[in-house]
Amino acid sequence: MAEIIQSLPLEDVIGDRFGRYSKYIIQERALPDVRDGLKPVQRRILYAMYSSGNTYEKNFRKSAKTVGDVIGQFHPHGDTSVYDAMVRLSQDWKLRHVLVEMHGNNGSIDNDPPAAMRYTEAKLSLLSDQLLRDINKETVDFVPNYDDTEMEPMVLPARFPNLLVNGSTGISAGYATDIPPHNLAEVISATLKYIDNPDITVNQLMKNIKGPDFPTGGIIQGIEGIKKAYETGKGKIIIRSKTEMETLRNGRSQIIVTEIPYEVNKSNLVKKIDELRADKKVEGIVEVRDETDRSGLRMAIELKKDVNANAILNFLYKNTDLQVAYNFNMVAISDGRPKLMGIKPMIDSYLNHQIEVVTRRTQHDLSHAEARMHIVEGLIKTLSILDEVIAIIRNSKNKSDAKNNLVSEFDFTKEQAEAIVMLQLYRLTNTDIVALQDEHKDLETLIAKLKHILDDHEALLDVIKNELNDIKAQFKSPRRSVIEAEIAEIKIDKEVIVPSETVMMSVTHEGYIKRTSLRSFNASGKEEIGIKDKDTVLTVQEVNTQDTALVFTNKGRYLLIAVHKLPDIKWKDLGKHVSQIVPIDEDEAIVQAFVVSNFTDDEAIVTATRQGMIKKSLLSGFKSSRTSKPLVAAKVKAGDEIISVMKVNAKNDLQLITLLTHKGMSLTYPLSELPETGLRAAGVKAINLKEADTVVLADTVDDEDTILIATQRGALKRVRATLLQSAKRAQRGMTLLKELKKNPHRVVAAKVCRPEHQTFILRSNNEQYEGSIEDIHLSEQYTNGSFIVDITTFGEIKHLEINMLFKN
C-alpha cells in the first residue's frame, strides 16, 4: 500500500477533522430525531430487542443478552454506555412513558447505579410496540450497519409523537437540547387539531397541550415561558416541589415534600437541606428525613415550635433544588440537520413522517393484497378445470415441467402455476372453493380501500387520526404536573436566615468595624474598646443581627452590610477594616454609619459636602440586593467630599438643619427647604460660601441643643441652638465668631451637643484634652470663646468628640 504524506497547515487539519467529528456526534449520537424522538443508540436498542423477539408479550430476557446484541450488530461502543442508555429507557422518573420494562434494580431517583446487566432482565414495553409497529412493511428506510452484515432502520415508524411525549436531553458539539416530557393524551389531541387545521396558532394548540408534564410531577410556573418556548423553541419555566404541612403530636409542624422537580437528585436535596440546618444558614429546622418507601416519594422537614413554616419553605425554594429553573432548548435533527424548533414545526415534521409511513405501509399492503388476489383467482380457475390440471401435472416430468405446462396450456401466470403445484390435496374439496370465493371478495374490498387511501389525502389523514385516537384511548393517563400561570415571587423573612440577637456594633474613623456580643461588651467595660493608636470611635450602637448597616464614605458612596455578616470580634480586640468586607479606595474614608431595620419612606438620608452642597434622599431608595460593591449615595464633584450624613424623619418638615463654616458663618433652615432627589443627583446648594470658605459642620438641631465649636487657636465656644435664626437655604448666614484683623479665629471642629451629652474630648495627633461640656459657658453670638488648650504644646486639633462612648 503506497504511503502518501501530505503537508498541511495544522489549523486546516484540526478544523476539518473536528468538523467531521462534530457532524458525526450531532447526527449520530447526542441529538434526537424529530420524527421518532430517539437518539441512534436508543433506536438501536429498541430495534435489537424487537428483531430478537424480546417484545412485551414475551418473557423477560437478561439485559446482558440485549446489550451484546446491540454492540455486536448495530452499535460498536462500550457496553456500559449501551446499558446506561437502556436503563434510562426503563426509568419512570426520567421518562413519562417507559419504553423498556425491567426486572431488578434499575437505579433510583437518588441516582443510585442500577444492578449489573448480568442480574437485570428486560423486554420492550407495550407502548414501545407502537414505535416499532409496521417496521417490517417497508415503512422506513434501512441502511447497512457498521460492518455491512445487517440492515438497521434510519428511523422508527413511531405511531405517536414520542419526542414530545418523552422529551430528550443531550449535549453535542455546538448544540444542546432540552425538550421536556409531555402528557401523551394532550400531545395526541394537539396533533389531531393540527391535522384538521394546519394554520392553528400556538395559543390554540395550548388549549390541548397545557405545558410539560414531568414524570416526577411538581408545580410548573410561568405560562409565558411555555408559550415562548412553543413559539421559538426557547423559554424558561420554574419547577417547584409539591409540599404540604403536617402537625405533629408535640405541637411541632413539618413540611412534607411529595413531588420534586424533574431530574433533581433526591438524596442530594435532602443532604443540602440538612447542611443548611447544620451550618445554621436557616433557623427553625429540627431535622430532615427521607421517608420515601414503595408507596411513593416523601421527605419530611421537621420544624421547631412557633416558627413560620412558609418563610422557611420560601428560603428552601430560593437556596435548594426544591425549586429549579427549567430552560427549554428544543433542538432536534430535522432533515439531517440540527434545528431549533417550536411546537408547530415539531408536530408538522411528525405528521409528514406519519404520512410517509402510512403511505408506504398502504402501498406494501396493496401490493401484497393484489399478489394474493392474483393467486386466489388462479386457484379458483384451477378448481373449475381440476381434472385437466391434474392430468397435466401427472403427465409432467417434474415440478418445473408441470409449471411450464400449466402456463402454456391454461394461460396461468408463473406465480399462479407455482401456487397450483404447491397445492395440498385436502384443499381440493368443495368447501375450499367457497373459502376462496369469500377471500376473493374480502381482497377486492381491501384493495379498493387501500387504493382509496392512496388516492385520497383526506382518507390517509383519517387513518392517521384513527390510529392516534386508538393509542390515546389505550395509553392516556392523568397529568402529573400542575401548571400555574405566574412565577411566584419568593420573599425571604430575615428571621429564617438569621437568629434575632442583640449585639453591639462599633465603627471607627479609620474604618474598623465589628459586632460584639453583649456578654463580651459588658464583661470588658464599655470604655475598653480595642482600637488602633491615634484612631477614634465614630459610632457605637446597640443593634440586632437582622438589621443592616449603612456605612457612608467621603466620596459619596455607601456600603450595605448585613449586621450578621459583620465579623464577630471581642470588645477589646481590633475590628476588621471595612475594605476587607466591601472593597473601597485607599483614599476613601468613613464618614458615618447607621443601622436600618426597615427601608421605608418615613425616613430620609441627608448628605452635606465640604464645598456647600446638600441633598435629601428617601431611605427606601438605599435598599439594594447588591452588597458586594460600594453604591452611589450622592454625586460628588472633583475636589469636594462628603463631611456629614444625617438620618432624619422624612415627614417632619420642621426639623432644623444647621451648617457651620470654617470662617464662622452659620446658616439654619428647616428640612422643607430640601427637595427629595435620587441617589445619583448632586443635590442643591446648602450655603452661600465666602471665598476660600468650607463647611465644617452640618447636623440637625433642636431647641434644647447647643453647639460646641473649636478654633485653630485652641479656643472653645458653646452657643444655644435657639440663637440660630431659621432662614432660607443657600444664603450667606450669620456670623458666630468675632472677626479679628490679626490672627482671626477659624473653626476647625464643631459638634452639636444633645441634652444627654456630658463630656467632650479634643484630640490632636499626640495629645488629648477631656472636659465637661457644662464647664464651657454659653457664649453670646459674637464672642470667640475661651482658650482651652495651648496649641503650641497641644498641637493641631484633629477631632472634637462629644460624649466619648458611654462616659457618664
pLDDT at res. 1: 64
Question: What mean pLDDT do residues 508-518 have?
Answer: 90
pLDDT band at 360 (very low <50, low <70, confident <90, very high): very high
pLDDT band at 807 (very low <50, low <70, confident <90, very high): very low
| pLDDT at residue 806 tops 60 | no
Total domains present in the chain: 2
Instruction: Give a yes or no: residue 283 inside a domain.
Output: yes
pLDDT at res. 656: 94
pLDDT tens readout for residues 166-204: 999 988 888 899 999 999 999 999 999 999 999 999 999
| pLDDT at residue 448 tops 60 | yes
Question: What mean pLDDT do residues 423-427 have?
Answer: 78
pLDDT tens readout for residues 288-311: 999 999 889 999 999 988 788 888
Backbone angles phi, psi at 647, to 5 degrees: -105, 120
Question: What mean pLDDT do residues 649-677 have?
Answer: 93
Cell numbers representing residue 744 in the block: 482671626
- 257 and 151 in a single domain? The answer is no
Neighbours of 220 (CB within 10 A): 26
The domain that contains 276 carries what CATH number?
3.30.1360.40
Contacts of 716 (CB under 8 A, 6+ apart): 708, 709, 710, 762, 776, 785, 786, 788
Cell numbers representing residue 775 in the block: 464647664
The percentage of the chain sitting over the pLDDT mark of 90, rounded to a whole number, equals 64
pLDDT band at 269 (very low <50, low <70, confident <90, very high): very high
Instruction: Give a yes or no: residue 135 inside a domain.
Output: yes
Q: Is 263 left (phi over 0), alpha (psi -120 to 50) or beta?
A: left
Q: Which of 304, 321, 338 is the last residue before a domain boundary? A: 321
Distance separating alpha carbons of residues 668 and 658, to the nearest angstrom: 4
- 32 and 154 in a single domain? The answer is yes
Torsion sign, CA atoms 165, 170, 175, 178: positive
Compute, in degrees rounded to 10, the torsion defined by CA atoms 747, 751, 753, 754.
150
- 32 and 148 in a single domain? The answer is yes
Domain of 256 in residue numbering reads as 242-321
pLDDT tens readout for residues 690-731: 998 999 999 999 999 999 999 988 889 999 999 888 999 999
- 142 and 37 in a single domain? The answer is yes
Distance separating alpha carbons of residues 556 and 642, to the nearest angstrom: 6
Instruction: Give a yes or no: residue 99 inside a domain.
Output: yes
Q: Give the pairing of strands 482-484 and 219-221.
A: parallel
Instruction: Give a yes or no: residue 128 inside a domain.
Output: yes
Distance separating alpha carbons of residues 650 and 275, to the nearest angstrom: 43
Question: What mean pLDDT do residues 452-458 have?
Answer: 94
Distance separating alpha carbons of residues 632 and 610, to the nearest angstrom: 18
H or E stretch covering 289: strand 285-290
Q: What angle do CA 340, 343, 347 make, to 5 degrees?
A: 105
Which sequence positions are flagged as catalytic? 119
Backbone angles phi, psi at 374, to 5 degrees: -60, -45
pLDDT at res. 174: 83
Q: Which of 711, 720, 718, 724 is nearest to 667 (CA)?
A: 724
Torsion sign, CA atoms 210, 212, 215, 219: negative
- 31 and 135 in a single domain? The answer is yes
| pLDDT at residue 28 tops 90 | no
Q: How far apart are the first and last CA of the chain?
A: 104
Distance separating alpha carbons of residues 317 and 398, to the nearest angstrom: 85
Cell numbers representing residue 639 in the block: 475636589
| pLDDT at residue 803 tops 70 | no
**Matching residue, cell 498541511:** 8
Distance separating alpha carbons of residues 496 and 285, to the nearest angstrom: 10
Asked whether 675 and 742 are in contact (CB, 8 A), the reply is: no
- 136 and 42 in a single domain? The answer is yes
Distance separating alpha carbons of residues 505 and 406, to the nearest angstrom: 114
Distance separating alpha carbons of residues 167 and 721, to the nearest angstrom: 76
Distance separating alpha carbons of residues 140 and 155, to the nearest angstrom: 7
Q: Give the pairing of strands 337-340 and 537-544.
A: unpaired
pLDDT tens readout for residues 227-268: 999 999 999 999 999 999 998 888 889 999 999 999 999 999
- 152 and 250 in a single domain? The answer is no
Distance separating alpha carbons of residues 161 and 353, to the nearest angstrom: 10
pLDDT at res. 172: 84
pLDDT at res. 16: 86
Q: Which of 321, 336, 364 is the last residue before a domain boundary? A: 321
Instruction: Give a yes or no: residue 304 inside a domain.
Output: yes
Distance separating alpha carbons of residues 808 and 805, to the nearest angstrom: 9
pLDDT at res. 425: 76
Distance (Å) of CA 805 to CA 505, 513, 532, 727? 12, 15, 16, 34
Reduce the DSSP state of residue 89 to 3 states and report it.
coil
Q: Which of 130, 158, 186 is the last residue before a domain boundary? A: 158
Instruction: Give a yes or no: residue 237 inside a domain.
Output: no
Backbone angles phi, psi at 146, to 5 degrees: -60, -25
Instruction: Give a yes or no: residue 795 inside a domain.
Output: no
Give the max Cα distance, the chain. Answer: 156
DSSP 424-460: -GGG-SHHHHHHHHHHHHHHHHHHHHHHHHHH-HHHH
Distance separating alpha carbons of residues 175 and 233, to the nearest angstrom: 13
DSSP 750-794: EEEEPTT--EEEEE-SS-EEEEEGGGSPBPPTT---EE-S-HHHH
**Matching residue, cell 388462479:** 378
The domain that contains 36 carries what CATH number?
3.90.199.10
Mean pLDDT for the chain? 90
pLDDT tens readout for residues 479-509: 999 999 998 888 776 666 667 788 999 999 8
Instruction: Give a yes or no: residue 734 inside a domain.
Output: no
Distance separating alpha carbons of residues 759 and 808, to the nearest angstrom: 8
Compute, in degrees rounded to 10, the torsion defined by CA atoms 258, 259, 265, 271.
-40
DSSP state for residue 673 in the 8-state scheme: G
pLDDT band at 808 (very low <50, low <70, confident <90, very high): very low
